[in-house]
């Protein structure tokens, strides 16, 4: 699958198409579960993480472990970008992303869904899940 096909599949709008960003944000924040939030969030980044990290790992490891390692790699790449920009080397984002990956796997295993709620409540829940993971890592750091 190409990047363009992947984005079209995730957003329903072609890559760079009119309304693509707003559709992506609507799909992500209005997702009915944490798993779906991450499915829709940043489809371009997700395409490359999936192709080069998750899918190769998934051949040898359980999906839950593959996804946590993929979240860790994403966080490490974000930390690397911050370091390369001269803003200081750190590992905070790696730990935060691992925590979000663990949270996603827990919510998946518990089959947590907020489909019965409207968009606004789902958006608050999805944003809160990120904030709670952030707060937890800040507390532990």
pTM over 0.75: yes
Residue 7, pLDDT > 80, answer: yes
Residue-wise pLDDT tens digits, 25-61: 999 999 999 999 999 999 999 999 999 999 999 999 9
Residue 19: the pLDDT is: 87
Q: And the tokens for 22?
A: 């707003």
Q: Decide if 21 contacts 8 (C-beta within 8 A).
A: no
| Tokens 């827990």 found at | 106
> What are the CA-CA distances from residue 129 to residues 73, 76, 124, 133 (Å)?
20, 20, 9, 6
pLDDT in the model for residue 70: 98
pLDDT recorded at residue 129: 96
pLDDT at 66 over 90: yes
Start-to-end CA span in the chain (Å): 40
Backbone angles phi, psi at 88, to 5 degrees: 100, 140
**Dihedral angle at the C-alpha atoms of 90, 93, 94, 96, nearest 10 degrees?**
140
The residue among 71, 77, 124 whose CA lies nearest residue 100 is: 71
pLDDT tens, residue by residue, 85-136:
888 888 999 999 999 999 999 999 999 999 999 999 999 999 999 999 999 9
Q: Which residues contact 45 (CB under 8 A, 6 or more apart)?
A: 74
């Amino acid at each position: 699958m190409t990047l363009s096909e992947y984005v079209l599949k995730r957003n329903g709008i072609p890559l760079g198409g009119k309304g693509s960003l707003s559709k992506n944000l609507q799909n992500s924040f209005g997702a009915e579960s944490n798993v779906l939030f991450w499915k829709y969030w940043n489809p371009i980044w997700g395409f490359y993480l999936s192709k080069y990290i998750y899918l190769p790992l998934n051949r040898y490891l359980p999906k839950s472990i593959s996804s946590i390692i993929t979240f860790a790699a994403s966080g490490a790449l974000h930390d690397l970008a911050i370091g390369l920009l001269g803003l200081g080397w750190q590992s905070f984002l790696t730990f935060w992303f691992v925590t979000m990956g663990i949270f996603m796997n827990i919510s998946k295993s518990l089959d947590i869904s907020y489909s019965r709620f409207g968009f606004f409540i789902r958006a608050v829940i999805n944003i809160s899940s990120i904030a709670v993971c952030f707060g937890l890592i800040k507390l532990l750091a």
